[in-house]
Amino acid sequence: MHGDDERQFTNRVDARAPALRRTAFLICGDRHAADDAAQTTLTKLTKLYLAWPG
């Protein structure tokens, strides 16, 4: 990642993370499990972004 791309990605993740956690909570009904699921998703998304050609 470089400068502006990294900032844009970080801003997008920061903006969407609360909604992701809420959705995960609705699915599993447990706050800790929802946080774990959201963190796993964001980690995989970051790995995907870093590996994406471009």
CA distances to 22, 36, 52, 53 from 17, in Å: 9, 12, 21, 24
Confidence of residue 53 (pLDDT cuts 50, 70, 90): confident
pTM: 0.82
At residue 44, the pLDDT reads 96
Q: Is the pLDDT of residue 54 over 80?
A: no
pLDDT at res. 9: 92
Does residue 1 register a pLDDT over 60?
A: no
- 27 Cβ contact list (under 8 Å, min separation 6): 34, 37
- Cβ neighbours for 22, distance < 8 A, ≥ 6 positions apart: 34
pLDDT digits (tens, 9 = 90+) for 3-37: 788 899 999 999 999 999 999 999 999 999 999 99
